């Protein structure tokens, strides 16, 4: 492309961005402009800033709006009292007052001129008096633009609009200063690359690499939140590669980097790392209705047990026996360290543990009992397990890929047939606890639980039993266990 045509393309991108912004701002302007007029009458400035301006330029402004002002929190409260439908002050110590109006969530923050203590990420809040100084302290140029209200004057002192058009992530000042103030911004750079499908400026990338160890100053919860947003981005592969290539992954999820060292046992992929990224991409293609974090996380972690289980046989073939068991344990430890909720950890770990169960089905060795156990062990995760198992097929051998797909089609059809006949989703013993206690003449306690589990195992092994058969089996078991004479 010639310099002239490239320049024309840039102008076209800017014009499109500006059109997006006008359309988005018109949508929210009844509230935003009214708020701006209230601040102006009180002798204060009000500006739409940060991600709100960026998203307006991208044509994706949501219901959450960020504003900055020269008014201090007490003054802000006086201005919005009686106008806002609700007000909250949870961010007051950082100069932020929250409000709601006409379905919009508003955060109004006093100009900041804050500094960080270079030990933790916690800022020492100092109120500022200048819009430009406030914008300068923001993380990236694409988040350092403002629209003044109610006159809609656009302020862009650091070239954020041009960077938005070029789809590049750059800091207002030097990245060294920015990341030194708040190391979490390095992870945010990777997150924005994943969410917006942008590239990271070479200077920013270099700073991320050299300063990766500074991420250790950040709390696990903050890292978790940014990583979750990254993995749920439109292009998480770009973000994940950036984490590994800069060394940031080593600070909080080193298992991902470790995969680069392991050759896939089928020798069909460059390495397990590349295979894993492909599985994540495959899993994304099977999602319905937005990001499924648990599925994506299971896809990312499904092979992390391979480095610890790698073995080379006499024939030179590489194997990773029981890597799903080791991987499940590593996944649990890593997600626990990142402070994920217990239910999210449990579901992800179960998927990692079960992801290899299907292999071998095509040899025709599975009985109906094995199918029932597959369904029962997966429980509510069965739809996700289907997707993860299919995503794990990344072989370039078309015949092998087609055979595996056909095998899994057959398994799903078999599950459907059994489910229709036996209600597999709610497999229960043929006798409940009350019936067990009545028949054995025992009170509630461990014996009832063991008897219940025995009957459930029988149900999985043989399918539904009629009442007479179930009672006979229970009595036989009770005599063998010494519960009955």
- How do residues 150-161 score in pLDDT, each as one tens digit? 988 889 999 999
Rg (CA), the chain: 29
- Percent residues over pLDDT 70 in the chain: 86
Mean pLDDT along residues 271-285: 94
Low-confidence winner among 228-242, 274-288, 328-342, 362-376 (lowest mean pLDDT): 362-376
Residue 261: the pLDDT is 62
Residue 289, token pair as written in the block: 């209705």
Q: Which residue has the tokens 């160890």?
A: 213
Mean pLDDT of 175-196: 95
Answer yes or no: is pLDDT of 20 > 70: no
Mean pLDDT of 120-146: 84
**HSE (CB half, 13 Å, CA atoms) of 319?**
9
Q: How do residues 46-90 score in pLDDT, each as one tens digit? A: 999 999 999 988 888 888 999 999 999 999 999 999 999 999 999
Across residues 154-176, what is the average pLDDT?
94
Sequence-ordered list of residues with C-beta below 8 angstroms from that of 166, at least 6 positions apart, any chain? 10, 13
Range from 156-170, 287-301, 400-414 carrying the lowest mean pLDDT: 400-414
Q: Is the CB of residue 140 less than 8 Å from the CB of residue 111?
A: no
Chain region(s) in the chain for CATH 3.30.460.10: 3-166
Contact 146, 155 (CB under 8 A): yes
Average pLDDT over residues 239-264: 89
Handedness of CA 81, 87, 91, 92 (dihedral sign): positive
pLDDT at 431: 72
Q: Tell me the pTM.
A: 0.80
For range 228-251, the mean pLDDT: 97
User: pLDDT, tens digit, for every residue of 5-19?
Assistant: 334 444 455 566 666
Q: Which residue would you say has higher pLDDT here, 398 or 114?
A: 398
Q: How far apart are CA 415 and CA 412, in angstroms?
A: 5
Range 431-443 average pLDDT: 79
Residue 360: which pLDDT band, with cuts at 50, 70 and 90?
Answer: low
Q: Tell me the mean pLDDT in the region 176-189.
A: 95
Could you tell me the fold of the domain covering 3-166?
Beta Polymerase; domain 2 (3.30.460)
Mean pLDDT computed over 335-351: 97
Q: Is the pLDDT of residue 24 over 80?
A: no
Tokens of 187: 């992870």
Confidence of residue 413 (pLDDT cuts 50, 70, 90): confident
Q: Of 412 and 457, which is predicted with more confidence?
A: 412
Closest by Cα among 181, 242, 173 to 217: 181
Residue 140 · residue 162 · CB < 8 Å: no
Average pLDDT, the chain: 86
* pLDDT score recorded for residue 2: 33
Measured distance between the N- and C-terminal CA atoms of the chain, rounded to whole angstroms = 91
Is the pLDDT at 459 greater than 90? The verdict is no
Q: How confident is the model at residue 117 (pLDDT cuts 50, 70, 90)?
A: low
Residue 263 confidence class, pLDDT cut points 50, 70, 90: low
pLDDT of residue 264: 46
- CA–CA separation, 166 and 9 (whole Å): 10
Asked whether residue 242 carries a pLDDT value surpassing 90, the answer given is: yes
Lowest average pLDDT, out of 38-47, 201-210, 372-381, 476-485, goes to: 476-485
């Amino acid at each position: 492309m010639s310099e002239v045509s490239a320049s024309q393309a840039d102008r076209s991108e800017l014009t499109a961005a500006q059109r997006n912004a006008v359309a988005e701002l018109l949508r929210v302007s009844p509230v935003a402009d009214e708020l701006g007029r209230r601040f102006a009458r009180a002798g204060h400035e009000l500006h739409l800033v940060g991600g709100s301006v960026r998203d307006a330029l991208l044509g994706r402004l949501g219901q959450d709006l960020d504003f900055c002002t020269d008014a201090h929190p007490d003054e802000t409260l006086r201005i919005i009292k009686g106008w806002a439908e609700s007000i909250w002050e949870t961010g007051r110590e950082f100069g932020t007052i929250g409000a709601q109006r006409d379905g919009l969530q508003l955060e109004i923050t006093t100009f900041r001129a804050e500094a960080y203590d270079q030990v933790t990420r916690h800022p020492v809040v100092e109120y500022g008096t200048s819009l430009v100084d406030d914008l300068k302290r923001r993380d990236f140029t694409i988040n350092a633009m403002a629209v003044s209200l109610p006159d809609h004057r656009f302020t862009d002192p650091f070239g954020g609009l041009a960077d938005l058009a070029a789809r590049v992530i750059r800091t207002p000042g030097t990245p060294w200063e920015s990341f030194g103030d708040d190391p979490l911004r390095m992870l945010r750079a990777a997150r924005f690359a994943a969410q917006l499908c942008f590239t990271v400026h070479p200077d920013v990338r270099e700073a991320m690499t050299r300063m990766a160890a500074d991420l250790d100053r950040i709390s696990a919860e903050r890292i978790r939140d940014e990583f979750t947003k990254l993995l749920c981005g439109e292009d998480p592969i770009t973000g994940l590669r950036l984490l590994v290539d800069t060394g940031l992954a080593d600070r909080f999820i080193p298992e991902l980097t470790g995969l680069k060292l392991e050759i896939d046992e089928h020798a069909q992929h460059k390495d397990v790392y590349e295979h894993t990224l492909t599985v994540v991409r495959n899993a994304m293609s099977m999602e319905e209705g937005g990001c499924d974090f648990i599925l994506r996380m299971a896809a990312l972690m499904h092979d992390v047990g391979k480095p610890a289980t790698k073995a080379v046989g006499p024939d030179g073939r590489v194997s990773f026996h029981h890597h799903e068991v080791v991987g499940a344990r590593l996944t649990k430890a890593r997600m626990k360290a990142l402070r994920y909720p217990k239910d999210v950890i449990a579901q992800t770990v179960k998927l990692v543990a079960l992801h290899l169960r299907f292999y071998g089905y095509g040899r025709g060795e599975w009985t109906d009992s094995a199918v029932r156990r597959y369904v029962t062990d997966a429980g509510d995760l069965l739809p996700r397990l289907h997707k993860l198992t299919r995503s794990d097929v990344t072989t370039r051998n078309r015949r092998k890929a087609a055979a595996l797909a056909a095998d899994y089609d057959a398994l799903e059809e078999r599950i459907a047939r059994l489910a229709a006949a036996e209600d597999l989703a709610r497999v229960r013993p043929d006798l409940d606890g009350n019936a067990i206690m009545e028949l054995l003449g025992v009170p509630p306690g461990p014996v009832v639980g063991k008897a219940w589990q025995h009957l459930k195992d029988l149900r999985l092994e043989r399918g539904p039993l009629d009442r007479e058969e179930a009672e006979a089996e229970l009595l036989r078991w009770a005599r063998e266990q010494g519960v009955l004479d």
